[in-house]
Amino acid sequence: MRQIGLVLTFIFMIGVTTTMAEWQIGVTGGIPPYAELPASISELVKKGEYSKAQQKIRDIIKKEGNTMPMKLQLRLLYEIERLDRVRKDFTLDKPALLRSIKQEIPDVTMEDIERWEKMGFFDYRIIDGQKLYFIRSRSNLYQLSQEARQRAKRPSREERKRKRIKEMKEIIATTKKEGKQFVLPRRLRVEMKISVPAGVVPPGELIRCWMPFPRENPLHSDIRLIQTSPKKYHLAPPDQLQRTIYLERPALKDRPTTFGVKYEFTTYASYVDVDPDKVKPYDVTSDVYRSYTAERPPHLMFTESLKQLAKRIVGDETNPYLKAKKIYGWVTENIRYTYAIEYSTIQNISQYCYDNMRGDCGIQALLFIALCRISGVPARWQSGWTTGNMHDWAQFYVEPYGWLYADPSMCITSSDDPEIRWFLFGNIDNRRLVANNDYSMEFDPPKWHFRSEPVDSQRGEVEWRGGNLYYNQFDYNMKIRTVE
């Protein structure tokens, strides 16, 4: 029966619509299984010959599908999808890149573009013989080049920095005054809407929709669902590692099909004044230690280069808290923040971060987690939203303090005040919506098709029996505001 499902999956990939039952064939929560690609496919992808790689995959599955392990076949099918997603991220040729930057730097020249490219400021791919640049190259240029920021007359970041420092100092002062770890409760109201334009899904076909929903965790209390549209819904259990609220309704003919949710919850800041001398050794037989110091392909793999890096960073340190602090310090000092390509297109995120020495919040968090685990410090993923943006961070575990927070991409490295410089190592602010306490976890109910984002869960997921809807096929909007 499983092999029949695999064949039907391949039929879907080449354009034949299947039924709901036919698609329930083993893609766990829409997450592609980990499997090594055949060398012949990997070599074509490495050369940028995407079309040839995709055709070769189709040929292999037609020839060997009935005898191929299910995990490998699903991974091959996902590779066809992954390469199409890479194409969506890399759409700018060099003239288009120049035009994009001219919008803010009118006097920019092709010589500037060439110079900045040699300095490593632009991410590009060779795809089927054409050199194409990342769609967010202009934004990343301003992250990496002070010259470009000044020429574009980008606003100063100092005001935002001062505001964050003020908030951190308030959290520290309140904790010391009240003697509690969780302080400064903030009541948040969240409204999220997803809209599928008319014509994307045939009228009358059932559209399935998942939206992130806050998990029960130490940062949150009094989570209250206010309203959904449609009214019927399924809410995943409070401890679901990637918690969602599920909605479904038939596609409309002449107008968008919409889904909405409104809820409130109270979120807290957390501050812990850790004394390294009080940190205790781990019970290496415990579930926490064994689970969260383990490899987890594809994004937490203990490659030789990462093992060597961890060894250089940690050195002879044996105290788990100080190990994690050294790793956090290295990541925050050495990894530059840039906007990321879609996580679903990256083969190994933690290694990608080290290879490129840059990445966004989740990419930096996964490198921190990988280096901690290699060094024998339990670490895990956490993500959701802040009051303004999607955001990812990490947690690490030390005895007797338990799980502490680590947000390498938002720390203020330039501060001379050690309480501010290290605030987001061990502590966290009161602007977080925690929907996920691990990455690549199954939804409840599970998806039938590959997820648009198989790593994180923030923008929502949408599908119908004919396939997943990628981000260019639906619109999402998240509004978070303080109500108390």
Structure tokens at 343: 């996580």
pLDDT exceeds cutoff 70 at 2: no
Location of structure tokens 């205790």: 280
pLDDT of residue 103: 96
Q: Which whole number is the average pLDDT over 291-315? A: 98
Percentage of the chain with pLDDT > 90? 90
pLDDT exceeds cutoff 70 at 27: no
Which amino acid appears at position 348 of this protein?
A: N
- CA-to-CA dists, residue 235 to 212, 228, 257, 353, 383, angstroms: 10, 11, 20, 34, 18
Structure tokens at 262: 């409104």
pTM above 0.75, yes or no: yes
pLDDT of residue 21: 36
Percentages helix, strand, coil for the chain, rounded to the nearest 5?
A: 40, 25, 35
Rg (CA), the chain: 23
pLDDT exceeds cutoff 70 at 12: no
The alpha carbon dihedral of 420, 426, 430, 432 has a sign of: positive
Residue 65 pLDDT grade (very low, low, confident, very high; cuts 50, 70, 90): confident
**In order of start, what are the domains of the chain with their CATH numbers?**
2-90 (no CATH), 95-151 (no CATH), 182-269+449-482 (2.60.40.2250), 279-426 (3.10.620.30)
Whether 207 contacts 250, CB under 8 Å: yes
Choose among 241, 455, 457, 242: nearest CA to 363. 455
For residue 281, whether the previous peptide bond is cis, meaning omega lies within 30 degrees of 0, is no
Number of neighbouring beta carbons within 10 Å of residue 308: 11
Q: In whole angstroms, what is the distance from residue 461 CA to residue 471 CA?
A: 9
User: What average pLDDT does the chain have?
Assistant: 93
Which amino acid appears at position 236 of this protein?
A: A
| Predicted confidence (pLDDT) per residue in 415-435, tens digit | 999 999 999 999 999 999 999
Whether 289 contacts 378, CB under 8 Å: yes
| Predicted confidence (pLDDT) per residue in 241-258, tens digit | 999 999 999 999 999 999
DSSP string, 2-38: HHHHHHHHHHHHTT----HHHH-SS-GGGPPPP-PPP
pLDDT exceeds cutoff 80 at 22: no
| Predicted confidence (pLDDT) per residue in 442-451, tens digit | 999 999 999 9
Q: In whole angstroms, what is the distance from residue 445 CA to residue 463 CA?
A: 13
Location of structure tokens 């039929």: 11
Q: Which whole number is the average pLDDT over 194-204? A: 98
| Predicted confidence (pLDDT) per residue in 211-245, tens digit | 999 999 999 999 999 999 999 999 999 999 999 99
| Predicted confidence (pLDDT) per residue in 47-59, tens digit | 999 999 999 999 9
Location of structure tokens 């640049």: 133
Q: In whole angstroms, what is the distance from residue 70 CA to residue 45 CA?
A: 22
Residue 28 pLDDT grade (very low, low, confident, very high; cuts 50, 70, 90): low
Helices (H), 315-413: 320-334, 349-356, 361-374
| Predicted confidence (pLDDT) per residue in 71-107, tens digit | 999 999 999 999 999 999 999 999 999 999 999 999 9
Choose among 459, 310, 269, 450: nearest CA to 383. 459
| Predicted confidence (pLDDT) per residue in 319-359, tens digit | 999 999 999 999 999 999 999 999 999 999 999 999 999 99
Structure tokens at 286: 């415990």
pLDDT of residue 157: 85
| Predicted confidence (pLDDT) per residue in 368-388, tens digit | 999 999 999 999 999 999 998
Q: Which helix (DSSP H) or strand (DSSP E) does residue 206 occupy?
A: strand 206-212
pLDDT exceeds cutoff 70 at 3: no
First to last CA, the chain: 55
Three-state SS at 76: helix
Q: In whole angstroms, what is the distance from residue 77 CA to residue 206 CA?
A: 24
